[in-house]
Structure 1
């Protein structure tokens, strides 16, 4: 970087002749591009196949070096080629010729200090806004992907309770071309207790043979198998690796009181092993989230008690219903809320546990080939569903508060960082006012030669427009380059803290274009007052003290 700055100083101060300066530009460009390419190749070789959440210091330094070298090569090469760009702009129109010469230094043909600061302010503001939008968009896209991966895209249910005679509706939904899977679902709120702790969860009954939620569940299992839930007897023949407990990093094992029974609850089993020789049926399997397994200190094969508030009627009133289950698997969805609040069992087991008779279910969950077609599916299903007093909701309605909050957050970030660009535009106002004061004699001479007020106004508007266009172009293009490097190389995050292993980045051309247009518009507005002031300057006032 020090060598680059020395070369930039030599070029800008005109220490060498213009012919040698061109060779200096070319040599520096080749070296900068070669260095960036070498860093990218080294990063690609050192990047582990499975992303390591705790990379070595050398790998982190290389990733940072790739990003810094790429930005350095881009900015310095752009600044070195800027004189040639200005040379071409001077040949476009008379207004641009005068405007460009106001921005350039007389000796070197490079930028003046004030012009450079104006370009830098607009560029940094545009860069910050684009990078913030990219990172926020990456988090929002990752969140949307996880929500759609763990939740149905369309849900058909009743506001309260279950419903029967759902098979004809299910067949009609599956016949739609936009639907990839449609399955019945039984769910309810329960409490799960282990030997050391308890937690409230949503128990969901699914049918693994019909896809639906089971598709994402199979993909997210980190311990156990779905087959253990279908055939719990296989849990008696587990390997030692499957029985390993899931404990978060840095977690302390604290002594706790054993919860072997709950007073006032109808007991249908015990966590103690049965006496030798006693005939026992295999306990039904249950799949829990990683965080829930960590909180309850569970591993595959352990027994848990599930408690429902809706039980039988006893002498003193309703008695909560309890049932023993055996952990058949542990999943990791990437969302803390899902990993702590959801547990899965087979749908017949859930129907018996929640006392749903005649094959009643609570919902039909639908997964689509394209989530953007949810409105069409809702319109097609809404008629038959209303005939059965059912409601139909898509993923946007189910998560409208969350996505509305994300949009509001993005809007607020837009407003805050746009203020930064507006503050940077004050330097444009100061630059142009200083130019009007310094160049009063030149303005008077131009008017004496026949230049109109509109011509002078267009000259100073061109100065502001050049600062806005070049500065915004530098900032947005640097943000695109940084986003591409960050997406390829990756910035590691601690998954135990952020629940994500790397910083997500979304490249959004539409947002970048909007940032560019906004920045240029603000700069033109900032240049309007000094330009009008310059256009109204009287030739007599400009020549009075000359």
Structure 2
């Protein structure tokens, strides 16, 4: 089968020759360097995508997208919830009351934010029902009954307090009660009826849940009164605008809005910015590999000056000579990018399992839930990232061929053959 001369020669020069093993070795290192650069970029970007996804699905699945609260407790939350759900951007609404304080047990103390909820409504706005480890295989929200003063806590808090299902914990509110004997902190005994593990240390260690009627009794609210409404939006990034507009539309109730960007927005923005900055820094690895292609082709041109001169005397044009070395450099770029792309996708798909296995072998945990917002290494491969990385590598590889190919095309036959 006939092939164009530049393609035939470019492919031939890429393969090993008896007289140019060193040049072939340099070509191989260029391929390996480019492949490693592409592999690392895909893996790191996939890990950052994983953090972004877990932040959205787990942390923001537990944290309210937005809340509507008033200066006074809401008396008829059902009527307000019906009005709020008329907005097309609201997916679900549930009542809540919050209490901050301490949980204690046998001298162990843990700060906690108790979200008092309606078990029948909470599953509409939260993912907590999918993450209970005790009772195993059940939705722990069903364990909350009015008047029983049960509490749901995270496994990290349960570990710190040394409690399990059925154990008692004492909630200490940051208030005092006046009694004939003096002032005493307001305390209440709760029974642990469920333990959950979301994988986010902030939630597993410092968030608990109780029945909304029990919290109302503890806070001395009237029956049916709640602190506010929790909103779940179809698009969580619209939470600031939508919640503010809703609060303004109910002027008769004097409501104010809060959304997730105030509590976790900085963390989410940090993840997004880190992905961008790390991507740009890792692109330098690919750029270095592309520069290796330049040095490889410059050495090939020097090594092949005699061949170039003979080809020119046989009628090859400068354009054909230039295309020959562009083909060689492009082959190196394509092979390195393909190898790096395939290995990068495979590594990104298995990096979470590999890190978990390594943690088991070494007996250590790389991501501690008490330090990081999740306790495992997530990874999510996105097609657009793989295409972007491979496209950038191919483009840089192609640009790297231009200068050496141009130098080859300028080779003068007489000058090259003078010392042959």
How far apart are the structure 1 equivalents of 2:266 and 2:375?
Answer: 26
Q: Tell whether 2:339 aligns with 1:477.
A: no
* Partner residue in 1 for 2:393: 519
* Partner residue in 1 for 2:296: 431
* Partner residue in 2 for 1:146: 58
> Which structure shows the higher strand fraction?
2
How far apart are the structure 1 equivalents of 2:124 and 2:199?
Answer: 15
Contact 2:334 2:394 in 1 (8 A): yes
The verdict on how the C-alpha distance between 1:481 and 1:308 changes in structure 2, with shifts beyond 3 A counting, is: closer
* Partner residue in 2 for 1:173: 84
How far apart are the structure 2 equivalents of 1:222 and 1:488?
Answer: 21
* Partner residue in 2 for 1:156: 67
Contact 2:171 2:188 in 1 (8 A): yes
* Partner residue in 2 for 1:528: 402
Structure 2, gaps ≥5 residues long = none
Q: Secondary structure at the match of 1:506?
A: coil
* Partner residue in 2 for 1:266: none
Q: Tell whether 2:42 aligns with 1:130.
A: yes
Alignment deviations for residues 37-67 of structure 1 (CA, whole Å, 9 cap, x no partner) = xxxxxxxxxxxxxxxxxxxxxxxxxxxxxxx
Contact 1:206 1:213 in 2 (8 A): no
RMSD: 3.7
* Partner residue in 2 for 1:23: none
Q: CA deviation at 1:201?
A: 0.7
Contact 1:156 1:390 in 2 (8 A): no
Contact 1:443 1:539 in 2 (8 A): yes
Q: Tell whether 2:20 aligns with 1:105.
A: no
Q: CA deviation at 1:184?
A: 1.1
How many residues are aligned here?
402
Q: CA deviation at 1:479?
A: 2.2
How far apart are the structure 1 equivalents of 2:282 and 2:36?
Answer: 10
TM-score under structure 2 length normalisation: 0.81
* Partner residue in 1 for 2:248: 386
Q: Secondary structure at the match of 2:144?
A: helix
Q: CA deviation at 1:319?
A: 5.8
The verdict on how the C-alpha distance between 1:106 and 1:329 changes in structure 2, with shifts beyond 3 A counting, is: closer
Alignment deviations for residues 371-423 of structure 1 (CA, whole Å, 9 cap, x no partner) = 5x335676555433223454555556653212222223323432343232233
How far apart are the structure 2 equivalents of 1:450 and 1:496?
Answer: 67
Q: CA deviation at 1:207?
A: 0.4
How far apart are the structure 1 equivalents of 2:87 and 2:246?
Answer: 13
The verdict on how the C-alpha distance between 1:487 and 1:149 changes in structure 2, with shifts beyond 3 A counting, is: same
Structure 1, gaps ≥5 residues long = 1-87, 234-283
Q: CA deviation at 1:229?
A: 2.7
Alignment deviations for residues 182-202 of structure 1 (CA, whole Å, 9 cap, x no partner) = 101111321122222112111
**Larger radius of gyration between Structure 1 and Structure 2:** 1
How far apart are the structure 2 equivalents of 1:114 and 1:409?
Answer: 34
Q: Secondary structure at the match of 1:537?
A: coil
